[in-house]
Each structure stands twice: as C-alpha cells, then as structure tokens.
Structure 1
C-alpha cells in the first residue's frame, strides 16, 4: 500500500506510516504547496496511492457515488481525517488493521476504491 499525505497532515503521521513499512510521501514533495484539490487527487490517483487528508473538500470532488455522470477519480482511495491533528498518528495506528483489511477488499472488487473516515471517537468505512 502506498500513502500520499496532503499538506495538512502532520509529520507524526508520516513517521507512523513509515514504521509500518508502507510507501509514504507528502504531496508537497511532488507538486507546489497550495495546489488545487483536483490536482492533488489526480496525482494521488496517478501514483496509485491512498490520499490521506484533513480536508473534507475531497468528499465533493471524489465522492463514492458520483452525482449524475460525473465519474472523475474512479480509482482514488481516500482516508479523511476528521480527528484533531494532534491525534492523527494515534488514530491511524488504531485504524491500521481496518485500513489494511478495507484496502485488501477494495483491491479485489470491481470498484477498487477505499474510503475511510477517522474521527476523534469513530472510524467509518464506505463500500
């Protein structure tokens, strides 16, 4: 599994994900900081990476069920961090077994996307 971290994800999250032996990089290492969300989504999808972000705008540009015929980002997997930023690494650690299981399920489905929401007190997935 490969993770692409949005610019609002703290370094502690990157350190944790690197400790799991997955590939991890910040989007800012590939494109300029402040790039528009559709470009961020495109780069993550192009790199076959799970986009990890505190930004809820990706829900609008890459929904699980598109509005009408809008089918952009058909292969973009996302983790929307809805927890406090200082809790990010700890919440990812607690969710990792679910993330791995959901990624495995998505990989073997026709719709190969994974969408997970991680809040302060909940973890939610959508299939």
Structure 2
C-alpha cells in the first residue's frame, strides 16, 4: 500500500509512515501544492495510493454516490477530522494496524476503496 500525502498534512505523518517502512509519496513531488482537489485525487488514484489529508472537501470527492463514484472509482482516503496537527502522526500510527486490515479485506472486494476517518477520540472505517 502506498500513501499519498496531501500538502496540508504535517511532514511528521510522512516521516512516521516512512519510519514504519511504508511507501510514501508527497504531493509536492507530483504536482503543485495549490492544485485543485480533483487533481490531487486524480494523482493519488493514478499512483495507486491512499490519499492522506486533513481537507474535509475530499469526503464529497471520494463519496460512493454521484460524481465521485463515477470519476474516482478506486480512490481510497484517510482523513483527519478535528485532530490537532501536532497529534496526526501519533493518531495515524495508532490506526495503522486497522488501516492495514481494511486494505487487505478490500483487495478481495469488487469495490476496493477504503475510507478511514481519524479523530482525536475515534477511528472509523467506511466501506
């Protein structure tokens, strides 16, 4: 599994993933940091990577119904919600075993997309 780190995500998240020997792609290496959200989603999907973001707009882009379903059929998303930036890396590392599990379960499914929402109090998955 690859992780595509959005520009709004602290560098500590990318470094924490790399510290766990994870494949990390930073948005700034693939496109401009101020790229529109739809381009960011398309680049993450083209790189077969799970998009990691703090941006709430991606919830609608990656939605299962409407335009999102037809346009981004394989986009997986990890989104931080109400998390202080200083705690995002810590929260992601806590969630990593669940994320791995969800990813592996999804590989046997027709709809392989994975949606994970990480808050200060919870970790939710949506399939």
Please tell me the TM-score bracket, short chain as reference.
over 0.9
Summarize the alignment of residues 28-39 of structure 1 with structure 2, pairs less than 5 Å apart. Answer: 28-39=28-39
2:60 and 2:68 in contact (8 A); partners too? no
Structure 1 stretches of 4+ with a deviation exceeding 6 A read none
> How many residues end up aligned between the 2 structures?
126
RMSD after superposition: 1.3
**Residues 55-74 of structure 1 aligned to structure 2 (within 5 Å):** 55-63=55-63, 65-67=64-66, 71-74=70-73
* TM-score, scaled to structure 1: 0.95
Aligned residue number for residue 80 of structure 1? 79
In structure 1, C-alpha distance between the alignment counterparts of 2:44 and 2:30, rounded to whole Å: 10
Contact preservation (8 Å) 2:4, 2:24? yes
SS in 1 for 2:51: strand
- What's the offset of the Cα at 1:67? 2.5
- Give TM-score scaled by structure 2 length: 0.95
Structure-2 separation of matches of 1:26 and 1:68: 26
Provide the rounded CA distance (Å) in 2 between the counterparts of 1:86 and 1:36.
Answer: 25
Question: CA distance change for structure 1 residues 69 and 23 in 2, over 3 Å: closer, same or farther?
Answer: closer
| Aligned positions of 1:41-52 closer than 5 A | 41-52=41-52
Q: Which blocks of at least 5 consecutive residues in structure 1 are unaligned? A: none
- The runs of 5 or more residues in structure 2 that have no matched partner are none
**Which aligned pairs between 1:11-22 and structure 2 lie closer than 5 A?**
11-22=11-22
- Tell me the equivalent position of 1:96: 96
